[in-house]
């Protein structure tokens, strides 16, 4: 792999507002932006797990942090206009499928109205050049087909989470055409990524965190849908896409569209394959068992993204194969379990990703 095409000169002293900075992806992104020399501000709820990546890596030391609700328009607008960002990367969300069945109102209010609020705040920021709204691969109407979904295909979603993200895409498209259409306005794009993995994710009802927490506790993992196929990728892959897209948006509004960031086709693997590989990488007594039954809420059985547009027009492409992504993830959690410096390993993995190394 070659070095990344991200421009340190571009990001130096750029004011970047990250919503959702206390989350898994937001924490990785905030540390990366700090490394690039950006002036970062974050707006999000407090982390909802203990432990969490935001706290144990000291993300709050590298940015201006506002702990608040994305649904509070007045507070969000005040914070955003005071910071007056050049770039907004919006990731604040209720980001899980299964909890969306239990709390559909919160899911829709956060993911749909939260997006509306972010775009309203963006309209009031005089220095703003680019907005990247992060949604999900699940925003597409899933027809359980083999080929990947392209950016121009219909939005949809069976469960409340997936459909709320489809709605967020429609909101983004409407605001782009209604309020950000003139040449002097900020460029507004959306980014759709698949299932991300990596160190520091303790979210409930997510396969990798559930497995690795069980391994650390010496317990056998129960897996719901071992035959389900997902486009697995390391968290740094889509983050690289978001950063590259933001760079392009600042100079060319033709990039103000929807973009897929997914893994290579052969890295869309069944859950059972991934579980077996994690057991092998972790070693010891790590194990899993099948918990499939008819009482589980619906989740898509097959999902894949077509990333031809991003590779051809943005110059983005996946850099880590799935086996390397899993190895980096296991290495991170074993560092944490052994009391190692998780901030250091997080930053080292970012550096290795930038330079094209495949080991830490």
> 332 with 345: CB under 8 angstroms?
yes
Grouping H, G, I as helix, E, B as strand and the rest as coil, residue 270 is strand
**In this predicted structure, what is the pLDDT of residue 144?**
73
What's the pLDDT at 304?
A: 82
Strands (E), the chain: 15-19, 39-44, 64-67, 87-90, 130-134, 187-193, 196-197, 221-223, 229-231, 233-234, 258-261, 268-270, 288-290
Token pair 């469960």 in the structure block, residue: 159
Q: What is the pLDDT of residue 322?
A: 93
β-partners of residue 270 are 229
Using CB atoms within 10 Å of the CB of residue 304, give its burial: 0 to 12 exposed, 13 to 18 middle, 19+ buried: buried
Which pLDDT does position 294 carry in this prediction? 54
Residue 107 has what pLDDT? Answer: 95
Query: pLDDT tens across 247-290, in order?
Result: 999 999 999 999 999 998 888 788 999 999 999 999 999 999 99
Token pair belonging to 75 = 């507070």
This prediction has a pTM of 0.94
Average pLDDT taken over every residue of the chain: 92
**Low pLDDT (below 70) residues in the chain:** 1-4, 292-302, 359-360
Contact 32, 243 (CB under 8 A): yes
Q: Tokens 């979210």 map to which residue?
A: 203
Cross-strand pairs, 230: 269
Instruction: Write down the pLDDT at residue 4.
Output: 66
pLDDT of residue 359: 60
Given this model, what pLDDT does residue 49 score?
A: 92
Give pLDDT, residue 302: 63
């Amino acid at each position: 792999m070659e070095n990344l095409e991200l421009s340190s000169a571009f990001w130096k002293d750029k004011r970047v507002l990250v919503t959702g900075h206390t989350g898994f992806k937001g924490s990785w992104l905030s540390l990366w932006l700090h490394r690039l020399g950006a002036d970062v501000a974050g707006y999000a709820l407090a982390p909802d797990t203990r432990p969490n990546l935001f706290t144990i890596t000291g993300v709050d030391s590298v940015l201006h942090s506002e702990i608040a609700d994305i649904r509070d328009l007045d507070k969000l607008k005040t914070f955003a206009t005071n910071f007056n960002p050049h770039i907004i990367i919006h990731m604040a969300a209720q980001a899980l499928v299964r909890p969306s069945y239990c709390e559909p109102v919160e899911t829709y209010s956060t993911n749909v109205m939260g997006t509306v609020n972010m775009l309203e705040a963006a309209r009031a920021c005089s220095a703003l050049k680019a907005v990247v709204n992060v949604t999900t691969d699940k925003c597409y109407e899933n027809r359980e087909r083999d080929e990947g979904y392209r950016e121009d295909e219909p939005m949809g979603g069976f469960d409340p989470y997936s459909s709320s993200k489809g709605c967020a895409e429609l909101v983004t498209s409407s605001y782009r055409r209604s309020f950000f259409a003139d040449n002097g306005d900020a460029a507004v794009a959306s980014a759709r990524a698949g299932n991300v993995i990596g160190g520091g994710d303790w979210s409930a009802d997510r396969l990798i965190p559930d497995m690795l927490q069980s391994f650390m506790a010496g317990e056998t993992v129960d897996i719901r849908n071992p035959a389900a196929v997902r486009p697995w990728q390391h968290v740094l892959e889509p983050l690289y896409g978001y950063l590259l897209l933001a760079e392009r948006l600042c100079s060319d509004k033709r990039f103000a569209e929807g973009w897929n960031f997914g893994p290579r086709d052969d890295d869309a693997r069944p859950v059972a394959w991934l579980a077996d590989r994690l057991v092998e990488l972790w070693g010891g007594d790590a194990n899993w068992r099948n918990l499939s039954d008819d009482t589980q809420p619906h989740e898509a059985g097959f999902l894949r993204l077509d990333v031809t547009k991003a590779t051809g027009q943005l110059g983005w492409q996946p850099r880590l194969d799935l086996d390397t992504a899993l190895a980096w993830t296991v290495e991170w959690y074993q560092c944490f379990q052994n009391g190692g410096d998780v901030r250091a390993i997080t930053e080292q993995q970012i550096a290795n990703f930038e330079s094209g190394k495949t080991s830490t």
